[in-house]
Amino acid sequence: MIVVNDIHKSFGDSEILKGISTTFEKGKTNLIIGQSGSGKTVFLKCLLGLFEPEQGIISYDGRDYSSLTGDEKRDLRQEMGMVFQGSALFDSMTVEGNVMFPLEMFTKQSKSEMQERVDIVLKRVNLIDAHNKFPAEISGGMQKRVAIARAIVMNPKYLFCDEPNSGLDPKTAILIDNLIQEITEEYDITTVINTHDMNSVMEIGQKILFLKNGLKEWEGTNKEIFKTDNAAVTDFVYSSELFKKVRQMYIEERN
């Protein structure tokens, strides 16, 4: 579980995160939504330890990041997996090379141990024939699977994903979302996902944090988000015609 207490993060004179508090539970897919520029990526980078907030506490299963020693911070970072927007695979490495990379960087495992682990995670993301292919030779959906395999190869306690299904068609996007949710439950990971995608909200929004202008505007579940009267949330959620109709149906049902 990650507990966030009153996080502030500024760049120069502009305060981007203005005091966010929330909790992200283990074994759950926690989503962060909000308009472009609301601070989702900055917040995720704070959770990853890439940005250090000026104020506030982020605590990982009881470990307050700011009070850890350098070694403890490094150990904690190795418990984190990440999937960046656009997969961020190394083009010059094969699928296998990409997934093995964190093991080569951070462990002293033998080649055969690493190979065994790579085979397990590639199988877990349903990629069995792609070991020797290069990223350019596989589809966008497969690239995301490779990125997920790489993110979980070190057996992380925490998984952070920034727009993991951007650029995918809606069906493939849902497959990727479901894969992330299954893995989260199976390995009891605390997963935090930034997304724009209302399909993701509906499918895997076990906990949703809605950011607006660097503040927590609302939080709840996917069941609750379609019922809330919070105007900022409904504006965001029902910005598409389809969702406006869904909301209308809810309102009619209620009355």
Ligand X SMILES: Nc1ncnc2c1ncn2[C@@H]1O[C@H](COP(=O)(O)OP(=O)(O)OP(=O)(O)O)[C@@H](O)[C@H]1O
- Interacting residues toward ligand X by CB under 6 A: 11, 16, 34, 36-42
37 binds, among Mg ion, ligand X, none (CB under 5 to 8 A by kind): ligand X
d(CA 208, CA 190): 14
Nearer CB in complex with ligand X: 190/194: 194
- Strand 55-60 to 63-64 pairing: antiparallel
What distance in Å separates the CA atoms of residue 95 and residue 237, rounded to the nearest whole number? 36
**Least separation, in Å, of the C-beta of 115 and ligand X?**
36
Contact at 8 Å (CB) between 144 and 82? no
| Beta strands 80-83; 190-194: pairing state | unpaired
- Segment lying near Mg ion (by CB under 5 A), choices 33-41, 70-78, 105-113, 203-211: 33-41
- At how many degrees (to 10) do helices 140-152 and 111-124 cross? 130
Question: C-beta of 7: minimal distance to ligand X in Å?
Answer: 13
Please, what is the minimum distance in Å from the beta carbon of residue 25 to Mg ion?
23
Closest CA to 198 of 164, 245, 239, 250: 239
Residue ranges of alpha helices (H) inside the chain are 40-47, 70-77, 95-106, 111-124, 140-152, 170-186, 198-204, 222-225, 231-237, 241-254
Report the residue number, 11 or 242, with the smaller CB distance to ligand X. Answer: 11
> Segment near Mg ion (CB under 5 A), from 35-43, 76-84, 103-111, 213-221?
35-43
- Taking CB under 5 A as the rule, does residue 41 contact Mg ion? yes
Nearer to ligand X (CB atom), residue 122 or residue 225: 225
- The one-letter amino acid code at 195 reads T
**d(Cα 55, Cα 72) in Å, to the nearest integer?**
20
- The binder of 16, among Mg ion, ligand X, none, by C-beta within 5 to 8 A per type, is ligand X
38 touches Mg ion by CB under 5 A: no
Residue closer to ligand X (CB basis): 14 or 110: 14
Least Å distance, CB 24 to ligand X, is 17
**Which residues touch 142 (CB under 8 Å, ≥6 apart)?**
127, 130
Comparing CB distances to Mg ion, the nearer of 114 and 211 is: 211
Residue 169 CA to residue 40 CA, distance in Å, equals 22
Pick the piece of the chain touching Mg ion (CB under 5 A) from 7-15, 23-31, 32-40, 216-224: 32-40
Which one of ligand X, Mg ion, none is in contact with 170 (Cβ closer than 5 to 8 A by kind)? Answer: none
Residue 227 to residue 202: CA distance in whole angstroms = 13
**Please, which residue, 11 or 253, has the CB nearer to ligand X?**
11
Minimum separation from the CB atom of position 147 to Mg ion (A): 16
Based on CB atoms, which residue is closest to ligand X, 40 or 150? 40
Contacts to Mg ion by CB under 5 A: 40-41
